[in-house]
Amino acid sequence: MQEPGFNTHYLEDMKLWVTHSQFIVEHINAMTTLAREHTMLTPDLAQRYLESCEIALQRCQQRLDSDGPGSAGDANIMESPESEAPIGPLSTLEQHLQRILGHLNTMHTISSVAWRQRPHHGIWLRKINR
């Protein structure tokens, strides 16, 4: 039984958000296997990817914890190491990292859209943000 006024689009968006998080876990598992087998990134490139992923994760977390809609500046949530990456084909590990950054970007967008559709009838939000 659904509560009156519940927006089903919110639930659908959150399911999509969860799907992207599952994809990230799959990429991390594949990267763990690759990392055991060889070192594929230079230390500088690895550091840039790490920083980009950390920023993206923090932005997604802030988006979920926020008590208001996103601002216009939230559109570009991370600096991509692509601009400084070597020209040529990406290694398998870099492809996984690029996909993770893409999933995080999508998750940030989904959570920004879903914010407007969130349930307004409960006190769950006030308890979380205090």
Give dist(CA 42, CA 68) in Å, integer. 40
Structure tokens at 57: 């994760």
On whether residue 130 sits in a domain, the answer given is no
The CB density around residue 28, as the number of other CB atoms within 10 Å, is 13
Number of compact structural domains in the chain: 1
On whether residue 62 sits in a domain, the answer given is yes
Enclosing H/E stretch for 47:
helix 43-65
On whether residue 22 sits in a domain, the answer given is yes
Return the pLDDT at 68.
Answer: 55
Give dist(CA 81, CA 94) in Å, integer. 10
Return the pLDDT at 77.
Answer: 43
On whether residue 17 sits in a domain, the answer given is yes
Structure tokens at 82: 């692509």
Return the pLDDT at 4.
Answer: 57
On whether residue 18 sits in a domain, the answer given is yes
Helix/strand/coil (H, E, C) string of 50-73? HHHHHHHHHHHHHHHHCCCCCCHH
Give the domain extent around 103: 8-66+90-116
Return the pLDDT at 84.
Answer: 53
Per-residue pLDDT of the chain (130 residues; tens, 9 = 90+): 455 566 677 778 878 888 888 888 888 888 877 776 666 777 788 788 888 888 888 877 777 666 555 554 544 444 554 445 556 787 888 888 888 888 888 888 877 777 666 665 555 555 555 5
Side-chain-side CA neighbours of 20 within 13 Å: the count stands at 20
Buried b or exposed e, range 64-85, using 16+ CB within 10 angstroms: eeeeeebeeebeebbebbeeeb
Alpha carbon distances (Å) from 65 to 52, 58, 62, 102: 20, 10, 5, 21
Q: Which amino acid appears at position 4 of this protein?
A: P
On whether residue 72 sits in a domain, the answer given is no
Return the pLDDT at 72.
Answer: 45
Return the pLDDT at 103.
Answer: 87
Please give the model's pTM, rounded to 2 decimal places.
Answer: 0.59
Return the pLDDT at 81.
Answer: 47
